[in-house]
């Protein structure tokens, strides 16, 4: 069932920015292989983040690869932290959540996480299970494992201490809690972004303090968004959401800058490193990056929507953009139930600055300046129902595509 450690290692380390430490990882893999005992692989999730995009998915894809190698995935939902919130009330992102909210958020998570991981092979645990059971004496024991100076080494704490921005003492407990989760589940490997370095290494320290073997830390790099510069983020609009429609997802992948193609293969797909190596060679030998991106778009869309939908998205992309000779980078507009007819959509067009007013839009129609799917529109067409994927063109340069 298990691959030999030498075959697991390149898969596990694909795309990983830092591993602490590789020697220990090899030993753990060997022991797991010899005893046929899967390794326990931990990922902690904060219950306040809702929509997952490919940037978030980088760690989840790595989890999926470890799951496919036969290891035991454990997702820890940090509901204890979420329930406490920030008692000082300073951090708005840390408002205390009710246990209903936490459960509600967790459901949203499940929908997205299990697009990537196999639900039947994944253990999900809430850390309030053990953290709320700790008493003062246990907390003292926990706190005795670390020095104040070491805690102040964490980047953000250090900056705040130097700049005299108060750090509330309780903030020192968030890394301790995360570290204690590793003790509780006896994690062999913990995954996280590089921004989690301190917290994940804390897990190693705490496991040692409690007489356990130290977990391996796998740090994944940050994934740049479609602009090729900034970290993928919803607020910057440079993201590909895992819940986006297949056509949208496909088209967005086609917008990835050529320089990031290989990085996306490494961090956003589960392709074997040897295949990625070959793809890189093809690029270096001068193959058109666009063709390779079509492969990437199909692989990523398949991961989240299955082969059939990915095929459809591929066809749609070809029809809509390649054959019809309309620009590929036209914006998309999502319609809701109240936007059935073209007339009902006009307010959205104004909002998105495609036209100034309803009267301007009607004037443009009467001047033959508006087309839908490259058919000129007449006034009487305003009552027509808009279909998903319809492309509206206003004048020569203004395009928009509707999605439902």
- Binding region for a copy of itself (CB under 8 A): 80, 83-84, 86-88, 131-152, 157, 161, 164, 166-170, 172-173, 176
> Nearest distance from residue 163's CB to a copy of itself, in Å?
11
Q: In the structure encoding, which two tokens stand for residue 331, read together?
A: 């914006």
Task: At 218, give phi and psi (nearest 5°).
Answer: -115, 115
| CB-CB contact of 344 with 383 (8 Å) | no
> Nearest distance from residue 44's CB to a copy of itself, in Å?
17
In the complex with a copy of itself, which residue's Cβ is closer, 126 or 173? 173
> Nearest distance from residue 100's CB to a copy of itself, in Å?
18
Sheet bearing 391-394, strands edge to edge:
332-334, 398-403, 391-394, 370-372, 375-376
| Dihedral sign (CA 178, 181, 183, 189) | negative
State yes or no: 159 annotated in a binding site. no
Distance CA 370, CA 126 (A): 55
Task: At 105, give phi and psi (nearest 5°).
Answer: -60, -40
In the complex with a copy of itself, which residue's Cβ is closer, 148 or 337? 148
Cβ neighbours for 179, distance < 8 A, ≥ 6 positions apart = 199, 202, 203, 205, 206, 207
In the complex with a copy of itself, which residue's Cβ is closer, 92 or 107? 92
> Nearest distance from residue 87's CB to a copy of itself, in Å?
4
> Nearest distance from residue 135's CB to a copy of itself, in Å?
6
> Nearest distance from residue 283's CB to a copy of itself, in Å?
50
In the complex with a copy of itself, which residue's Cβ is closer, 89 or 306? 89
Task: At 205, give phi and psi (nearest 5°).
Answer: -65, -45
In the complex with a copy of itself, which residue's Cβ is closer, 149 or 337? 149
Q: If you count them, how many residues does the chain have?
A: 404
In the complex with a copy of itself, which residue's Cβ is closer, 131 or 245? 131
Cβ neighbours for 96, distance < 8 A, ≥ 6 positions apart = 82, 83, 84, 85, 86
Binding positions for ATP are 234
Binding positions are 234
């Amino acid at each position: 069932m298990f691959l030999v450690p030498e075959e697991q290692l390149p898969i596990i380390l694909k795309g990983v920015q830092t591993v602490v430490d590789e020697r220990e990882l090899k030993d753990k893999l060997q022991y797991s292989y010899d005893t046929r005992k899967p390794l326990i692989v931990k990922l902690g999730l904060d219950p306040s983040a809702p929509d997952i995009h490919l940037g978030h998915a980088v760690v989840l894809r790595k989890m999926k690869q470890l799951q496919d190698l036969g290891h035991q995935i454990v997702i820890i939902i940090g509901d204890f932290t979420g329930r406490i919130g920030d008692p000082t009330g300073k951090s708005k992102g840390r408002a205390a959540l009710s246990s209903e909210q936490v459960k509600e958020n967790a459901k949203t998570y499940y929908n997205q996480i299990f697009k990537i991981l196999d639900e039947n092979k994944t253990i999900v645990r809430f850390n309030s299970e053990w953290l709320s059971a700790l008493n003062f004496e246990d907390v003292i024991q926990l706190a005795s494992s670390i020095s104040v100076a070491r805690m102040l080494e964490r980047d953000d704490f250090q900056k705040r201490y130097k700049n005299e921005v108060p750090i509330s003492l309780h903030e020192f407990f968030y890394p301790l809690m995360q570290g204690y989760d590793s003790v509780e589940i006896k994690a062999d490997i913990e995954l996280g972004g590089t921004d989690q370095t301190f917290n994940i290494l804390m897990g190693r320290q705490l496991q040692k303090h409690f007489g356990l073997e130290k977990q391996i830390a796998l740090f994944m790099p940050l994934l740049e968004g479609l602009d090729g510069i900034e970290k993928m983020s919803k607020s910057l609009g440079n993201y590909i959401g895992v819940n986006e429609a297949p056509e949208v997802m496909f088209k967005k992948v086609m917008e990835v800058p050529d320089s990031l193609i290989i990085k996306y293969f490494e961090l956003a797909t589960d392709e074997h490193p040897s295949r990625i190596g070959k793809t890189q060679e093809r690029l270096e030998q001068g193959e058109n990056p666009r063709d390779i991106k079509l492969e990437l778009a199909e692989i990523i869309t398949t991961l989240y929507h299955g082969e059939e939908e990915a095929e459809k998205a591929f066809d749609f992309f070809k029809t809509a953009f390649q054959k019809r000779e309309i620009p590929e980078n036209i914006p998309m507009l999502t319609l809701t139930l109240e936007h059935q007819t073209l007339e009902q959509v006009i307010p959205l067009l104004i909002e998105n600055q495609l036209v100034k007013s309803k009267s301007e839009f009607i004037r443009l129609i009467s001047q033959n300046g508006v087309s839908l799917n490259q058919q000129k529109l007449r006034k009487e067409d305003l009552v027509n129902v808009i279909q998903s994927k319809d492309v509206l063109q206003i004048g020569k340069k203004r395009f928009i595509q509707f999605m439902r």
